[in-house]
Chain A
Amino acid sequence: MSTLAPNFAVKDPRARDAGGGAPPSFGGGGDGNSGGGNGAFDYGERLRRARLGLALGLTAVIMLFVGFTSALLVRKGLPSFDVQTNTYSRDWVPINLPWVLLFVNTAVLLVSSLTMEFARRAITRKAALAPVRSIPGVSLGDERGFPWLGTTVILGLGFLAGQLLVWRILHEHRFFVNTGPSSSFAYLLFATHAVHLAGGVIALMYAAAASWMLHRPVEAQRIVVDIAAWYWHFMALLWIYIVVLLMIVR
């Protein structure tokens, strides 16, 4: 396990170069720019910025689910005028969800969050040690670590497969998307989450490619993995929210 503090900021050794010549002057230190030309490329800045961007993006995703949740609560509580009885009645029939399978799915996702976190810490450490490793003649021993990233991808795909299984079971029990509002919302929430998770899987595969195939610098890889990791954890939290919501409201 990594014993490193999680927020080890990686600074390019040339970030504070105020020497003359080609590199631009940064108007007296403490700049917020990630380089207007050569030199001064602060990966710590870029990581912070990327995390801010992710937080904002997740806010938008939250608003999407806020819209769905409020629609669910309103639709469940709302009576509709039944012309045949001249009265208002509710037509909410609770859906029978395969809870065991859902909990297994939840466990898979939570484990994948764990493996994702290990991957994130591994690359944080790797990025922190990058300057040391670049000194000629220095070796830190076997660089190969456990493929946490790959494991997370596989667990993520497993989760998605589990989702398909859940939907197949619902079909077998005659709960289709248009069977009633309860099942409509269940499918809607599951499917929207799955789409977002699939996007996360693609991001993880890109992160893996960045390391093996594209040979991006390790600090840049770290940013990708870090952002993908927080996104992944958010997906797990979102999933728990959906399951709890359906448990309470279904």
Chain B
Amino acid sequence: MGLALLAVIWLITFVSTYLFIWHPWWLPAGMSAAAAAIDHQFVTTYILMGIVFVLAQCSLGLFVWQYRDRGPSAPPAAYSHGNTTMEIVWTVLTAVLFVGLNLMGSKIWAAERFEPAQASAVPVEVTGMQFAWYFRYPGPDGKFGLTNPKLMDPSSGSEAAIGLDTSDPAAKDDVVTGTMFLPVNRQVDLTLRAVDVIHSFFVPNMRFKQDAVPGLAIHMHFTPIQIGDYEIACAELCGLGHYKMHGIVKVVSQEDFDKWIAAREAEKQ
């Protein structure tokens, strides 16, 4: 039985580790400026926790086999209530490991979240509602116009879905779409809003996630660094359509982005 435990624990450990190393399933390709640092922190944590995982599981398996009761003639168990020195040593080591890891990652957190967006960032407002995402661009005046909850009507198109108040002059040039276009290599200054329940704007390739909370307008930023189409998945339970509340972020060149915005502005005339 001890041997069986050893075998199974070691097998599970090695299969898991092998799969983690070979990783047929892994983090999606990182397409934002922050992705490299986040992934590096992830891999560091992974390797360190992986070492602890293998050592702990293998010791467990080894000990239950090595110290199995071999019968009445075998020596008795060692009588010991513990070892204070060892306790102190492994407590300190564990604390150093955990706290150290945390402090390492905190620099990235600070860069992502403590600093506001740069002045040259592209402003985009993201509005989540059951069960779609809408994206608003402020247009040439650079200002987002007012919205009014009383004017919200998703069946009348994107502008009406977010309740754009067309009587506000700043709102006249706002572009509202169901697909998010972004220029590559430029930071985007997101304002996240939600209309009905909490949603979460999650773009796995951008290593970006932030809850969109009714009653708040949350500012956050990221910088896409590669042209392509990236999926958005809602990451906060929002009702029966949560599983299909997805969208697309299209990262294009700056020229293509300007052309696209101009085309949308032209449609509004």
Contacts and interface: CB of A to CB of B under 8 A. Distances in A.
Interface string A53-93: 00000000000000000000000000011011110100000
B216 A83 contact: no
Interface in B147-199: 147-149, 163, 165, 193
B216 A84 contact: no
B146 A85 contact: yes
B215 A80 contact: yes
Interface string A131-144: 00000000000000
Contacts of B149: 83-84
Please classify the interface of chain B as helix (H, G, I), strand (E, B), loop, or mixed, using the class held by over half of its residues. Answer: loop
A81 to B, nearest CB: 5
Contacts of A86: 144, 146, 217
Nearest to B170: A86
Contacts of A85: 146
Question: What is the size category of the interface that chain B forms with chain A?
Answer: 10 to 19
Question: What is the size category of the interface that chain A forms with chain B?
Answer: under 10
A83 B144 contact: no
A83 to B, nearest CB: 5
Interface string B209-253: 000000111000000000000000000000000000000000000
A81 B216 CA distance: 5
Contacts, number: 22
Interface string B26-37: 000000000000
A196 B56 CA distance: 51
Contacts of B144: 86
Please classify the interface of chain A as helix (H, G, I), strand (E, B), loop, or mixed, using the class held by over half of its residues. Answer: loop
B217 A84 contact: no
A179 B163 CA distance: 26
A71 to B, nearest CB: 15
A84 B215 contact: no
A181 B70 CA distance: 70
Nearest to A78: B215
A89 B246 CA distance: 32
A195 B193 CA distance: 40
B193 A81 contact: yes
A86 B193 CA distance: 11
Contacts of B148: 83-84
Nearest to A80: B215
Nearest to B150: A84
A58 to B, nearest CB: 35
A84 B193 CA distance: 13
Contacts of B217: 81, 86, 88
Nearest to A86: B146
Interface string A79-116: 01101111010000000000000000000000000000
B146 A81 contact: no
15 contacts: A80-B215, A80-B216, A81-B193, A81-B215, A81-B216, A83-B147, A83-B148, A84-B146, A84-B147, A84-B149, A84-B165, A85-B146, A86-B144, A86-B217, A88-B217
Interface of A: 80-81, 83-86, 88
Ranked 3 nearest A-B pairs via Cβ: A80-B215, A81-B217, A83-B147
Given A83-B163, A86-B217, 5 more contacts: A83-B146, A83-B149, A84-B148, A84-B165, A88-B217
